[in-house]
């Protein structure tokens, strides 16, 4: 099972001038086996939704709920949300100098498996295979996490983690931004492999329709000014491709 | 125009004194080093009341309990017995006996055919060897007041396979050290001083690398709570010689080390690394003075520290003097501090004084930052607990230094020490939280 049910979610962000409301009541349901795309203009609150779900300390949920298979995420610490099955692929993955990818992956896997370390005999092979599927060399594992990675390497590393850690639900925030067309394909194929297991959920946040040519969503949501303003299928993405967000932004204003 | 010739002012080691607060005046005489008032630039960061026991110079103070760790077998170096009758000043071909007391121990270490000598070091011996004079009162007190010094002499050409590890243990009393280490031409060695126990320890430790010598010198201040350690580690790097120094400060109440480098010829390299971790109430001060006094010499300084707890205080001062004649030198110094909790304070003061523009490079950087919440969030979003995430970040912070030490047992020890510090802090925090909850 992989049901992510978001209802009435209100979120404030801490700013220098005090708290500011960004999400103004988000309702969204991702059911087992579904791929959802969230599309919206810059500044509409897409990343805020992703961060708030994962529990980033700067984003405060003031009302509403987010349940993953019945577990209320909003009451959990960041690591506990991951243990509940949530994964956040970040728009700007964070550099952690001096911590190798291999060490990071092993530590994360151990934590997610309840403190049981992965098998020394098979795990490095799994890691290498996952990296290879995303066109990353084995030597990549000994580099520091995101430190000095190119934009494309950062995003491919996020998807390698997705495949290795295999959560119930993946929230992927602009996983396609800053990628050239070949890299978009590689990343999309990774998402497809993950989704093809059939019992997972994907929430794909994107600004452009480009990645949707390779990863086909079951549902498309248009996000404007902190809420979902329109829902549909792939035809909605096609419409956005032609018309842009302007009409929705005007309607919301 | 009157054609005046000004003669350079020399210190007691015969080195020209540059009038600058960066340039400490060296002198063997204790009276040349006045007791500080706290107003002096070089003392302004130090809590004088906590180092008072080292400033109040005494005579005839014994050493720490020194032992050479010969692969697990501890060989006492605290007192050197009179020459054993069966081995009267045993000399092997190639050894130079004249420099050493008959009481010295000559030992053929693995990988060598000539003997490394461990022996006492009198004041007269130390001066005759052309050592650097003490740079401050603590070092001068130790130099003049220590009963039995220690000299370690690795002969020319000797390439030691294994590190020489000296365990220096405080036995809950004042201790003075007068130590000299010398590496002969093209000799190569790793020497580790591992300080532990409880002491008020004033130290004079001087190191000479002859031409082409290679030394990795590691000093680990792993003192018990309450220990006080001050003084100097001074290095002279010969022509084409390579020094790698690693200073690790973990324990003790107060540690204040003056670490100096000068060169005895062209083309010497000095890499100075430091790792420190200050807990609540600890004062850790590392003052570096790199005297770029010879052409084509290279220096690299990289010190990193983490601080946690109320009143944790670290001081890093990096003074680099590039003299008029020091053409073609290359120098860079860096200090990074990671403040883990409120109430801790890191002072970081790089200083460059450049008297010639004819150089390859000279630069410095100094950063002091709080724990990065974004790094914590990223790691925790992968299921990693907060404690584990903090541990990874701090290990990562130090890793860049630790990986360059090149002595596996020291690297491991350091990783463990960093972990232990973080676990202790997390446990303390957990306790405070529980107490707060109870008292609500
Ligand atoms: N950490 C922050 N500090 C201040 N403002 C923020 C912060 N995060 C987001 N915002 C504001 O919230 C709004 C939504 O941002 P974001 O969620 O990043 O939008 P999107 O991902 O859709 O481009 C923007 O107006 C942005 O400026
Ligand atoms: Mg965004």
pLDDT tens-digit profile of B130-166?
889 999 999 999 999 999 999 999 999 999 989 999 9
> Using CA atoms, how far apart are residues A125 and A120, in angstroms rounded to an integer?
9
**Nearest CA owner, ligand 1 atom 16:** A45
Rounded Cα distance, B412 and A78, in Å: 31
Question: Residues B78-107: pLDDT tens digits?
Answer: 888 776 555 444 444 444 445 778 888 888
Q: Which residues 6+ apart lie within 8 Å of B417 measured at CB?
A: B222, B248, B250, B277
Please choose from A40, A45, A89, A174 the residue to mutate so as to test ligand 1's pocket, defined by most ligand atoms within 8 A of CB.
Answer: A45
- Dig out the tokens for B398 from the structure: 């130090």
Averaged confidence pLDDT in chain B: 89
Identify the residue among A57, A89, A92, A98 best suited for mutation to test binding to B, counting B beta carbons within 10 A and taking the highest. A98
**For chain A, what are the domain ranges?**
4-252
- CB-nearest partner of A107 from B373, B388, B399: B388
Residue B423 has pLDDT above 90, yes or no: no
Name the strand (E) or helix (H) holding B361: strand B361-370
Q: How far apart are CA B27 and CA A221, in angstroms?
A: 78
What is the average per-residue pLDDT within A113-118?
96
| Residue whose CA is at the smallest distance from ligand 1 atom 7 | A13
Q: Please tell me the distance from the alpha carbon of residue B23 to that of residue B30, in angstroms, as a whole number.
A: 18
Mean pLDDT score, A140-161: 96
The ligand that comes nearest to the alpha carbon of residue A39 is 1
Cβ distance B377 to A108 less than 8 Å, yes or no, reads no
Contacts with A161 from chain B: Cβ below 8 Å: 382
Phi-psi region of A2 (alpha: psi -120 to 50; beta: other; left: phi over 0): beta
Distance A63 CA to ligand 1 centre (A): 18
Q: Are strands B330-339 and B361-370 parallel, antiparallel or unpaired?
A: parallel
By CB neighbour count within 10 A (0-12 exposed, 13-18 middle, 19+ buried), where does B183 fall? Answer: buried
Using a CB–CB cutoff of 8 Å, tell me whether A56 touches chain B. Answer: yes
pLDDT digits (tens, 9 = 90+) for B258-291: 999 999 999 999 999 999 999 999 999 999 999 9
Higher pLDDT, B24 or A59: A59
Do residues B414 and B398 touch, judged by C-beta distance below 8 A? yes
User: Is A140 exposed, middle or buried (CB count within 10 Å of its CB: 0-12, 13-18, 19+)?
Assistant: buried
Asked whether the predicted pLDDT for residue A46 surpasses 50, the reply is yes
Distance B141 CA to ligand 1 centre (A): 61
Q: Who surrounds ion ligand 2 at CB < 5 A?
A: A 46-47
**Cβ atoms within 10 Å, residue B115:** 23
Q: Tell me which DSSP letter residue B383 carries.
A: T
**CA A43 to centroid of ligand 1, rounded, Å:** 6
Residue of A nearest to B372 (CA): A96
Q: What is the pLDDT of residues B331-381, one digit of tens each?
A: 999 999 999 989 999 999 999 999 998 999 999 999 999 989 999 999 999
Please indicate if any CB of chain A lies within 8 Å of the CB of B368: no
pLDDT in tens, A81-103: 999 999 999 999 999 999 999 99
B400 touches A at CB < 8 Å = yes
The model's pLDDT over B230-265, given as tens digits with 9 standing for 90+, comes to: 999 999 999 999 999 999 999 999 999 999 999 999
Name beta bridge partners: B314: B284, B346
pLDDT per residue as tens digits for the range A170-191: 999 999 998 999 999 999 999 9
The stretch A44-50 carries a mean pLDDT of: 97
Give the nearest partner residue to A99 out of B381, B383, B392, using CB atoms. B392
**Rounded to the nearest 10 degrees, what angle do helices A123-133 and A101-112 cross at?**
110
Q: Which residue's CA is minimally distant from atom 27 of ligand 1?
A: A43
Cα gap A50→A173, rounded to integer Å: 7
CB of B385 within 8 Å of a chain A CB? The answer is yes
Using a CB–CB cutoff of 8 Å, tell me whether B332 touches chain A. no
CA-proximal residue: ligand 1, atom 18 (nearest): A47
Enter the CATH code of domain A4-252.
Answer: 3.40.50.300
Pocket of ligand 1 (CB under 6 A): A 13, 15, 22, 40, 42-48, 58
Q: What pLDDT score was predicted for residue B435? A: 58
A47 CA distance to ligand 1 middle (Å)? 7
Nearest ligand to the CA of A44 is: 1
Answer whether B375 sits within 8 Å of A94, measured CB to CB. yes
Residues in B closer than 8 angstroms to A54, CB to CB, are 377, 381
Distinct helix (H) and strand (E) counts, chain A: 8, 12
Q: What is the pLDDT of residue B84?
A: 56
Distance from CA of A155 to the nearest CA of B (A): 14
DSSP class per residue in B339-393? E-STT-EEEEEEEEEES-S--SEEEEEEEEEE--HHHHHHHHTTT--HHHHHHHH
Provide the pLDDT confidence category of residue B43 given band limits of 50, 70 and 90.
Answer: very high
Instruction: In whole angstroms, give the CA distance from residue A76 to residue A55.
Output: 8
What is the per-residue pLDDT for B13? 65
Interchain CB contact of B272 with A (< 8 Å): no
Rounded distance between C-alpha atoms, residue A101 and residue B377, angstroms = 16
Residue A91 CA, closest ligand 1 atom number: 21
| Distance, CA of A74 to CA of B54 (rounded, Å) | 56
Quick one: pLDDT at residue A241? Answer: 87
Residue B436 is predicted with a pLDDT of: 53
Percentage with pLDDT > 90 across chain A: 91
A196 at B interface, C-beta within 8 A: no
Query: pLDDT confidence of A166, banded at 50, 70, 90?
Result: very high
Tell me which DSSP letter residue A45 carries. S
For B205-224, write each residue's pLDDT tens digit.
999 999 999 999 999 999 99
Chain A positions in Cβ-Cβ contact with residue B378 (cut-off 8 Å): 90, 93-94, 96, 145
Q: How far is B96 from B99, CA to CA, in rounded Å?
A: 7
Q: How far apart are CA A166 and CA B399, in angstroms?
A: 29
Q: What's residue B400's pLDDT?
A: 86
Residue nearest to atom 4 of ligand 1 (CA): A15
Out of A82, A94, A98, whose CB is closest to B383? A82
How far apart, in Å, do the first and last CA atoms of chain B sit?
83
Q: Which residues pair with B167 in a beta bridge?
A: B67, B194
Measured CA to CA, the distance from residue A227 to residue A27 in angstroms comes to 8
Instruction: Output the residue whose Cα is nearest ligand 1's atom 24.
Output: A43
Structure confidence at residue A222 as a pLDDT band (50, 70, 90): very high
Count of CB atoms situated within 10 Å of the CB of B299: 25
The residues with which A140 forms a beta bridge, in sequence order, are none
Q: Least CB-CB distance to A111: which of B384, B396, B399? A: B384
- The protein residue whose alpha carbon is closest to atom 6 in ligand 1 is A13
Q: CA dist B174 to A25, B34, B51, B197, B284, Å?
A: 69, 21, 12, 12, 19
- DSSP assigned state of A142: G
Q: Chain A within 8 Å of B370 (Cβ-Cβ)? A: no
Ligand 1 centre to CA of A87 (Å) is: 20
């Amino acid at each position: 099972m992989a049901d992510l049910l978001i209802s009435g979610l209100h979120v404030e962000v801490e700013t220098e001038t005090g708290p500011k409301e960004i999400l103004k009541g988000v309702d969204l349901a991702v059911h087992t086996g579904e791929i959802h795309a969230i599309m919206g203009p810059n500044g509409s609150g897409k990343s805020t939704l992703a961060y708030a779900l994962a529990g980033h300390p700067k984003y405060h949920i003031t009302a509403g709920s987010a349940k993953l298979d019945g577990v209320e995420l909003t009451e959990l610490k960041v690591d506990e949300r991951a243990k509940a099955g949530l994964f956040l692929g970040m728009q700007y993955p964070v550099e952690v100098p001096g911590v190798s990818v291999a060490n990071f992956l092993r530590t994360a896997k151990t934590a997610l498996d309840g403190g049981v370390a992965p098998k020394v005999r098979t795990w490095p092979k799994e890691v290498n295979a996952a990296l290879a599927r995303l066109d990353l060399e084995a030597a990549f594992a000994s580099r520091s996490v995101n430190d000095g990675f190119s934009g494309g390497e950062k995003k491919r590393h996020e998807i390698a983690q997705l495949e290795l850690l295999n959560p119930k639900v993946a929230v992927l925030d602009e996983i396609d931004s800053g990628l050239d067309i070949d890299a978009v394909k590689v990343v999309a194929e990774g998402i497809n492999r993950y989704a093809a297991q059939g019992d997972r959920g994907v929430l794909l946040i994107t600004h452009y329709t480009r990645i949707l040519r390779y990863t086909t969503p079951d549902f498309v949501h248009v996000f404007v000014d902190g809420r979902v303003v329109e829902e549909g299928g792939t035809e909605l993405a096609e419409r956005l491709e032609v018309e842009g967000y302007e009409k929705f932004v005007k309607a919301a204003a | 125009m009157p054609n005046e010739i000004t003669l350079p002012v020399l210190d007691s080691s015969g080195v020209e004194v540059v009038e600058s607060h960066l340039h400490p005046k060296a002198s063997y005489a204790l009276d040349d080093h006045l007791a500080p008032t706290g107003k002096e630039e070089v003392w302004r960061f130090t809590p004088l009341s906590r180092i008072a026991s080292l400033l109040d110079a005494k005579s005839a103070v014994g050493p720490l309990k020194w032992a050479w760790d010969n692969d697990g077998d501890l060989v006492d170096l605290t007192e050197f017995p009179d020459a054993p009758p069966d081995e009267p000043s045993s000399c092997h071909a190639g050894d130079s006996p004249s420099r050493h007391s008959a009481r010295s121990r000559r030992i053929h270490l693995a990988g060598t055919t000539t003997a490394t000598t461990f022996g006492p070091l009198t004041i007269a011996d130390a001066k005759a060897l052309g050592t650097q004079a003490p740079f401050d009162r603590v070092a001068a007190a130790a130099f003049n007041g220590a009963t039995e010094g220690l000299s370690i002499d690795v002969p020319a050409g000797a390439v030691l396979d294994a590190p020489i590890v000296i365990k220096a243990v405080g036995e809950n009393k004042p201790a003075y050290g007068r130590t000299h280490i010398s590496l002969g031409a093209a000799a190569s060695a790793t020497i580790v001083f591992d300080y532990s126990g409880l002491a008020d320890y004033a130290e004079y430790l001087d190191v000479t690398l002859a031409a082409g010598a290679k030394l990795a010198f590691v000093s680990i201040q792993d003192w018990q709570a309450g220990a006080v350690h001050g003084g100097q580690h001074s290095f002279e790097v010969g022509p084409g010689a390579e020094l790698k120094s690693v200073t690790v400060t973990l324990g003790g109440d107060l540690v204040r080390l003056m670490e100096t480098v000068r060169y005895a010829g062209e083309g010497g390299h000095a890499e100075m690394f430091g790792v420190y971790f200050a807990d609540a109430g600890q004062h850790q001060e590392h003052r570096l003075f790199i005297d770029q006094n010879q052409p084509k010499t290279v220096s690299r300084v990289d010190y990193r520290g983490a601080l946690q707890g109320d009143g944790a205080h670290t001081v890093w001062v990096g003074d680099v003097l590039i003299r008029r004649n020091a053409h073609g030198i290359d120098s860079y110094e860096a200090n990074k501090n990671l403040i883990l909790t409120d109430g801790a304070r890191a002072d970081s003061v790089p200083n460059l004084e450049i008297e010639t523009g004819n150089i390859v490079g000279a630069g410095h950087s100094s950063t002091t930052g709080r724990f990065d919440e974004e790094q914590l969030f990223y790691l925790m979003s992968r299921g990693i607990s907060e404690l584990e995430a903090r541990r990874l970040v701090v290990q990562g912070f130090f890793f860049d230094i630790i990986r360059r030490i090149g002595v596996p047992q020291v690297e491991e020890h350091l990783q463990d020490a960093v972990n232990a510090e973080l676990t202790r802090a997390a446990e303390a925090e957990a306790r405070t939280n529980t107490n707060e909850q109870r008292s609500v």
